[in-house]
Amino acid sequence: MVSTIDRLADKYFPFARKLRRQLHQHPETAFEERETSKLLQDHLAPLGLLITRKVASTGFTALLKGDPNGKVAALRADMDALPVNEETGLPYRSKTKGKMHACGHDAHMSIAVGTAYILSDIRSDLKGSVKFIFQPAEETPPGGAIAMIEEGVLRSPDVDAIFGLHVDPDIPVGKIGIRDGVMMAGVVDFDLTVKGKGGHAARPDKCIDAIVVAANVVTQLQNIVSRRTDPLEPVVLTFGKISGGSARNVIAGEVTLSGTMRSLSNKTMARMKKLIENTCKHVTKASNAGFEIDYFTSYPPLINDESVNRYYRNAAQELYGKRSVVEIASPLMASEDFARFLEHIPGAMMRLGVRNSKTDAIYPWHHNRFNIDEDAIGIGMAVCSKAIYDFLES
């Protein structure tokens, strides 16, 4: 089966590469992926898969039916682009100003479609079924995974394990990255509003300066990370935006701080919330100010199942040799809503190497010059196909 899958990956690689370039030229952001969804469904239609449309608005699933008495595997691909203006200069660069596939979701989709073609060709050998999940809005919390799960994508038939992938510009093309356990951080985004009392800049004694209070709040909250959390437990607390004030001679009565908090465990994230609220309470009280915190639902930590990872690891090594697998030493503090699926069923996300300095594929996720070495598409198709085949065999 290794040689069969390798041959089929070579066969369908030109098709998948062409599809990736089509998708790259026409990026659509969260919950706007209508043309993207239609294009993918048009390419999957010849395979005779059972397609369920308009799941979580613009998402859909495609079921490849195999042995009805066997297990069910799922492969998830995210579809949304980013609000980034592309500056790669590629002949197939984005045709939509201000939108770009700057995180590789175009590759994820083309790999998933290519995998569907490979597995359809060996359908008679599959000891189970495969559900392809094309998900909207990965980039915009709370993400599309929650809605898809609520609408039943992991049921009818019940999915036993889910496979995911993400291109990685830090891993050379030809290799995949694997990490058991926690791979990516959970995240909670929030707006913190400091409430003071505005007035004339010449009479600060008659006011409660929300800007000064907010500055103290930011300083004290940083002490939570440096002095009130375990130094061996990674925590990030960042404020990326401050909004307040109307003129240089007017004391602001209200300031809003937009922040994000990240950790590798749900327990730490819950504790961080309490520490943030307690610190805000005391700092604002000292200045006779007040505060409000609005939390936005975000993503839990991404925790890979070791047994599912084993299928990825073995598939890559059988196809491309033992050196094709990179064991990722440390988790990332970035987040991914694939983690939502892993709260319900076992699964794992591999990282697909796409880095190649010769093709200028060296820029990080979300960069306006992000690109991939497209040879990775064929590798991703082969590894996903073999891993899913082996899972259904077991």
pLDDT at 329: 95
Rounded to 10 degrees, the C-alpha dihedral 326/331/335/338 comes to 50
Please tell me the pTM assigned to this model: 0.93
pLDDT at 159: 98
Return per-residue pLDDT of the chain as tens, 394 residues.
Answer: 999 999 999 999 999 999 999 999 999 999 999 999 999 999 999 999 999 999 999 999 999 999 999 999 999 999 999 999 999 999 999 999 999 999 999 999 999 999 999 999 999 999 999 999 999 999 998 899 999 999 999 999 999 999 999 999 999 999 999 999 999 999 999 999 999 999 999 999 999 999 999 999 999 999 999 999 988 899 999 999 999 999 999 999 999 999 999 999 999 999 999 999 999 999 999 999 999 999 987 899 999 999 999 999 999 999 999 999 999 999 999 999 999 999 999 999 999 999 999 999 999 999 999 999 999 999 999 999 999 999 999 9
Q: Is 350:311 a contact under the CB 8 Å cutoff?
A: no
pLDDT at 193: 98
Query: In the chain, what are the domains?
Result: 2-183+301-393 (3.40.630.10), 186-299 (3.30.70.360)
